[in-house]
A and B are shown apart, each in its own frame.
Chain A
Amino acid sequence: MDKGLTLDRIAVFKDGKPLVALDHHIAPGEVLSVMGPSGIGKSTLLSVVTGTLPRAFSFTGRVHLDGRDITDAAPQRRMVGILFQDDLLFPHLSVGANLAFGLRPGGSRAARQNRIEDALAEVDLAGFANRDPATLSGGQKARVALMRMLLAEPCALLLDEAFGRLDTALRAQVRDLVFARARSRALPVLMVTHDAQDAEAAGGEVVTLGT
């Protein structure tokens, strides 16, 4: 099978009634934008990929990631990263510990610390490891959340209205950063958004639901 994320004839139902459907292959480094008004089931579509579909829903079709069929895999074994609208940094952990939580196990403490420093430097936050997440600005939090997800070495990245809480100027900046980091790691990206500018900036294919 191909590298990348494949949504193979996915159809989601709510209480037995059809909600959304999508059949698409996303190649490594590419972005697929799914647009549509809120309440149409965009986030539900993502939960099919992450394996966290709420009980009231059901779906048909298969999800493949880099040739693996992950349709029935446990959520934590899918290697699918996701960023939400809120940064969701853990408030009881420092910025560095948040990143260490994401970093795959293994390596000496010093080596792990180095990787965390590097990750922070990659998003212009060098020296922030000991900071309390609550003292960071919105844009800084978003960047930490991105690096925490990338340190877990996912094989695909999902964006669930990930830039919705940022103001316009910051939004473009964070958006470009996320796409650049994802492209440099050759990750297939599936983004749901209701903002046409997000989709435009992604530069990939756009699917509009509910039309």
Chain B
Amino acid sequence: MKNRVLPVVPALTLLVMLGPVLAGLYGTVLPAFGHLPAGGLVGPNLDAFRALLDWPGLPRSVMLSLTTGIGTTVIALALVMLLVAGWSGTRAFRALERLLSPLLSVPHAAAAFGLAFLIAPSGWIARLLSPGITGWTNPPDWLIVQDPLGLTLMLGMVVKEMPFLLLMTLAALGQTDAARARAIASALGYGRTTGWLKTVFPRVYAQIRLPVYVVLAYGMSVVDVALILGPNTPPPLSVQIVRWMGEPDFTARLLASSAALLQLALVVGALLFWRLGEIIVATLGLRWITSGHRGASDAPLRIAALSAASIAALSILLGLVVLAVWSFSGFWSFPNALPDAFSLKTWMRQSTGVLDALGETALIAGSVTLLALILTIGCLEAEYRQRRNLTQRGLLLLYLPLLIPQTAFLPGLQSLLLNVGADIGRAPVMLAHLVFVLPYVFLSLADPFRAWDSRNASVAAALGASPDGILWRVRLPMLLRPVLTAVAVGLSVSVGQYLPTLLIGGGRVATLTTEAVALTSGGDRRAIAVWGLMQTGAALVPFALALIIPALVWRNRKGLSHG
């Protein structure tokens, strides 16, 4: 990278990250007001909004979107905070910590399938308890998965968002001196949980606020998990938007665009509501802190938090196990805990399709991650050479693509591409993936990159190395482990993308995720299991490599073995 290129990299990064978002929002606004030249429709008018208001499912749809988003965020945040409050520094906590990376990298869709296969009336749990405990010889006629209130959807989201919030909390804890705060609180007579909540939580929350907002926005607008675990009649608003986008006639597209704007307004409203909640909690919290109450219910809270976290971790891991069992199962009659016969038939039958999709997935994920990595390193190196640090506002820009609901701007981006007659397909899909991959790669690499001891650069420069030479020959080799971790994060984010692939690919780009989710309606458990496992593998293998490669490359370099 020449020095002439480097200074423009941050601007370029912002452009590729925020350009599609802004263009997409613009492309959503026009058809929402009846303007879609490609379909011969010319606005502006309010017909689409009238049609949206006339849709009988709207109140339920909006309600589901709100309850899923807010419920997921409140529950996941509360459980993670109580877990860290009651257990950080203990052996049980370290065990959960080690599971964090694999749990994080399991794609949302695969985790949702696994959960469905566990808790459905004919799922593994029912099979293990039947007929011995339950007395069932046939699966009961209960609507657990896709229940009308969306409770299973919320459960699935909580389980999958907890590892993300835990990771963010652990990163924030490093800057809060939590251990000594605990020593003081305990000398003043406070138990673990209460002491932590009163002394550390306020400081940690200030650091994880943006990730919490991301969970809220994502929970309100998630599509793939909602398709698998959420109700159908009506579905959450985001799913309905995608359905309308999939209909061939253009008025449905207008309807989808107006609903997308409503979705955006809902998310913005929910974020403002959450901010208000923060202020109320802060006021009440200060009163609680200064009341001097030492906390009497610490012990039950600790046990509840650890149990909930363990169940969440187990439900993802056991979900993968049950996917594996189903993928190799032959005939499997109901109350039996294991299949009556095992076979490779499903894997053989799906192999061609799976391998094609794996190739497409790898091509997209690899290219997008490479681009994201180059831009990220360019940004960080430019920041380092210009001695300018990312401001709070810059950080907000980085989070913007994660805070604006996908369903708000992706339909618009598709309409826009349609209007300009651009070919939808692989390249636009990659650009859409980049919007989501970039922030995660950046967030993953930024801290280790900045923490690098710059005296190494001074020494290298004194020995005659150029700035570029220092970057390539000293800094990046020393940062091999965090760079590979960032690559793994980027790959897993790309592998998990459903909506950008579906909408921008126009149904012509078939990745592991789009094909797996498409199988939901068919209900072929064996096929779903194969695709879900492959999807998980595609996300998980890079993480394993990110651990193994540095250990091999630096096997004779003790100073680098701890990253």
Using a CB–CB cutoff of 8 Å, the interface residues on chain A facing chain B are 50-52, 74-77, 79-82, 84, 86, 88, 90-93, 96-97, 100-106, 112, 148-149, 152, 154
A8 to chain B minimum Cβ distance, whole angstroms, is 21
Contact A52:B186 (CB < 8 A) given known A101-B292, A103-B292: yes
Which of B181, B183, B189 is A90 in contact with, Cβ under 8 Å? B181
A81 to chain B minimum Cβ distance, whole angstroms, is 6
Q: Is the CB of A97 within 8 A of B289?
A: yes
Residue of A nearest to B187 (CB): A82
Q: Is the CB of B292 within 8 A of A81?
A: no
Q: Is the CB of B202 within 8 A of A92?
A: yes
B49 within 8 A of A: no
Q: Is the CB of A80 within 8 A of B290?
A: no
Give the contact-size bracket for chain B.
20 to 34
Q: Is the CB of B195 within 8 A of A76?
A: yes
Contacts of A97 in B (CB 8 A): 286, 289-290
Contacts of B294 in A (CB 8 A): 76, 105
What 8 A-B pairs are tightest by C-beta distance, nearest first? A100-B290, A105-B292, A75-B186, A152-B188, A92-B202, A82-B187, A105-B293, A103-B292
Which of B189, B202, B292 is A106 in contact with, Cβ under 8 Å? B292
B232 within 8 A of A: no
Dominant secondary structure of chain B at its interface with chain A: helix
CA distance A103 to B177 in the complex (A): 22
Contact A86:B180 (CB < 8 A) given known A105-B294, A149-B187, A149-B188: yes
Contact A102:B188 (CB < 8 A) given known A76-B294, A90-B199: yes
Q: Is the CB of B292 within 8 A of A112?
A: yes
Contact A76:B180 (CB < 8 A) given known A52-B186, A92-B202: no
Which of A77, A79, A86, A101 is B290 in contact with, Cβ under 8 Å? A101
- Chain B 195-217: CB-based contact to A (< 8 A → 1; otherwise 0): 10011001100100000000000
The total number of A-B Cβ pairs within 8 Å is: 74
CA distance A154 to B190 in the complex (A): 13
Per the 8 Å Cβ criterion, residues 472-514 of B in contact with A are none
Residue of B nearest to A103 (CB): B292
Contact A75:B187 (CB < 8 A) given known A91-B203, A101-B198, A106-B292: yes
- Chain B 135-163: CB-based contact to A (< 8 A → 1; otherwise 0): 00000000000000000000000000000
B295 to chain A minimum Cβ distance, whole angstroms, is 9
A112 to chain B minimum Cβ distance, whole angstroms, is 7
Contact A76:B186 (CB < 8 A) given known A86-B180, A88-B180, A101-B198: yes
Question: Could you list 26 examples of A-B contacts with CB < 8 Å?
Answer: A52-B186, A74-B191, A75-B187, A76-B185, A76-B294, A79-B189, A80-B187, A81-B187, A82-B187, A84-B180, A88-B177, A91-B203, A92-B206, A97-B286, A97-B289, A97-B290, A100-B289, A101-B188, A102-B188, A102-B292, A104-B292, A105-B291, A105-B292, A105-B293, A105-B294, A106-B292
CA distance A86 to B180 in the complex (A): 10
Contacts of A82 in B (CB 8 A): 183-184, 187
B197 to chain A minimum Cβ distance, whole angstroms, is 12
Per the 8 Å Cβ criterion, residues 245-302 of B in contact with A are 286, 289-294
Q: Is the CB of A88 within 8 A of B181?
A: yes
Q: Pick the most buried of B180, B183, B185, B292: most chain A CB atoms within 10 A of its CB.
A: B292
A57 to chain B minimum Cβ distance, whole angstroms, is 15
